[in-house]
Chains A and B, each alone.
Chain A
Amino acid sequence: MLARILNTLLMLAVAVSITGVINRTRAVLAGRKGLRFFQHLFDAKVLLGKGAVYSPTTGILFRLAPCVCLASSLAAFLFIPVADLDPLLSFDGDVVMVAYLLALSRVSLILAALDTGSSFEGMGASREALYGALIEPAIMLSMATLAMLSGYTSLADIFSTARSLDVNLTIVVLLAAYVFLKIMFVEAGRVPVDDPRTHLELTMIHEVMCLDYSGIDLAMIQIAGWLKTAVFAMIAADAVAAAVCFDWLLAAPLAVVVAGLSVGITESMRARNKLSRNSTYILTVTAMSALIFLVGYLLLQNIEIV
């Protein structure tokens, strides 16, 4: 039980630290003093203390969506192990459950955006649905690769047994980690797919769906975003740890550093994609996940490379 509590605490630490590392990295690279490391937590605290304002055109879907989004993200979050520690929730086949919970989180926000009747939010919902449809095969294929290589369908079992990998399988697992990192960029709505700092509604994707939210609802959506980011960052870190050094002492800091630095550096170094190029970018991630799945499959068929 102690391991499960430690796992949950570590995941929470990862979730709140990634945004801080991203902000600090961007500030350092831009030569600015920047925000405090935990500024986003103070902002969320302020929002949590406020009430919510609802437009008279919105219905029950709009009001329910932040709760559903946060609850489903939190549920998915509780399935993720930190290296060899046991997660709070786990059962056979939970890899599919995690993917569905994250999809539920996305669908709730899409429905809420449509419920407002705003044309901007409708555009954002349409884009989010398209990108979701393109990225979900990548999530499923990457999860399937890890499940296929380990022989288990539970994330806890996958990362408790993935210890004796030969060189070829290590390469595949490291590539899977890379793909999960790319998926994190898409799911978290980060540059180059989306820019959380943009002020132009026409080019927004994730942010435009939250335009009508305020106060506690907005805080719940932001917290759900941190949890989703932590889910993918930790799976990527677990995969790297499984290939290199399988220990939670390595996996937890690795998730924060790799996710935070990669997002921070990318946001400092390049602009976001044109909207027309986003679908190609996401399909490339899916193609990479298909590649690692197929290579893993061929390796498991005992087709050796001399």
Chain B
Amino acid sequence: MMATKILDLPDTSYVLPGNRSCAGCGIGIALRQITAALEGKMVMTVPASCLTVLGGMYPISSVNVPWVNVAFPSTAAAASGIAAGLRAMGRADDMTVLAMAGDGGTGDIGIQALSGAAERNEDFLYLCYDNEAYMNTGTQRSGLTPAGARTTTTWAGKRENPKDLPAIMEAHNIPYVASTSAAYPTDVYDKVVKARGIEGLRYIHMNTPCPSGWGFDPKDTVRLGKMAVDAGLVVLYEVEDGVFRLTGRSASLAKAGKPLLPVGEYVATQSRFKGMSAETIAAVQAWVDTRWARYLARNAGSCLP
């Protein structure tokens, strides 16, 4: 499949002008591409999260697609139920079921329901927008918050590296797993288009810069999202039927063989990393380097996952 160019993205938008998300929120950028890639033939299900806020308060909605709000831990089970209900009603062929939740809603409180749905290979697309903490409740740490980040429950900086959620999903042997970034709308679009055409549980993990939670100017959302990819903290890839390949900017970086942007330069751009020690930065750099080497090896097909 040829990569879509930015000027070729559809003009039709299912996200209405104006919503309740914060200025510079990465979700709003990506949601346009996600819904456009599904051509609005979809029902989305959303737990308590920033996305709920973006969606609007009754009776006003900011998104022009069917949207079912559900309880925090239940997203993947709700998507399973919606998919089963649509099959039972003979309506499954018309619609993609899209489950969309944040990193906490996916990797922490929602992981049980998601793991169950993945093991059953339920027929829906799950997209985790990873803004790296509980942003909707005021920036508390999640299991996907990076080491060194200050949150309102890690005042001295989080000590642990984030859990590798796409790898956990890959271990469920589902047909499609991808990692993308809201800073690359075409990468998001192409992955959702591809996922749409696959049957079974499709998982897309989307890094999503958050100006208020990370501490940067809202105009820099895309710039910082791209920096995270250049630094190897976020890697764009997909695993289709077990076959791994780097995509987009990550594939270009691998091809060029250039060193990654140092972690120190990336963390210097955000106030959440203020006061991060040289030791912690070095530890994160070592973690990134090891991961990147593993991705390069997988991309070259030189080792088993």
- Is chain B a partner of chain A in the same complex? no
Q: Which A residues fall within an 8 A CB radius of B? A: none
Q: Which B residues fall within an 8 A CB radius of A? A: none
